[in-house]
Amino acid sequence: MDAAKRYHFSFLSSYQGACDYKVVDFVTREEHRVSHRTSLSDYLKKHYNATPEVYERDVVGGLYYLTDTCGKMTPEIVEAFREYMQAEADQCVIDMRALAAKYEDDPEIKSIYDAYGPNCPLIRGGAVWNQGWVAV
């Protein structure tokens, strides 16, 4: 079965530069949660409740990876997530173009579009937790 059809992703929440998604495997009927961190904030670093070394390992080490802590990450899930995120980015561009006349003079929206265009956020690959993030 095609990876994009086997897995379904649903946005759950976002906080401090990371978005969480529910993953449903239509073959095994299993569900689990994955996270994708695309930014780091000074606030998070300042208030992270651990040593700077642990922050680097846990937070910075997972930057741009699709991560899970239950060990179910596979390359197929990463591939399906990339397709899902690209489809979301493509739809965002379609929506922005449909509203271009309304927002064409807004410099903030223009700078976002110019910076990201039709590309989805960077996804380095998948990683699972084992005393640090380990790529799959």
Cα(30)–Cα(70) distance, integer angstroms: 12
**Between residues 31 and 132, the one the model is more confident about:** 31
From residue 39, alpha-carbon distances to 52, 80, 89, 101 in Å are: 17, 22, 17, 30
**Between residues 43 and 132, the one the model is more confident about:** 43
Cα(58)–Cα(38) distance, integer angstroms: 14
Cα(136)–Cα(128) distance, integer angstroms: 7
- Section 11-36 average pLDDT: 93
pLDDT in tens, 31-83: 999 999 988 989 999 999 999 999 999 899 989 999 987 888 899 999 999 99
List the structure tokens of 40: 């780091």
SS3 label, residue 23: strand
User: Is 33 within 8 Å of 75 (Cβ atoms)?
Assistant: no
pLDDT in tens, 111-126: 766 665 555 566 777 7
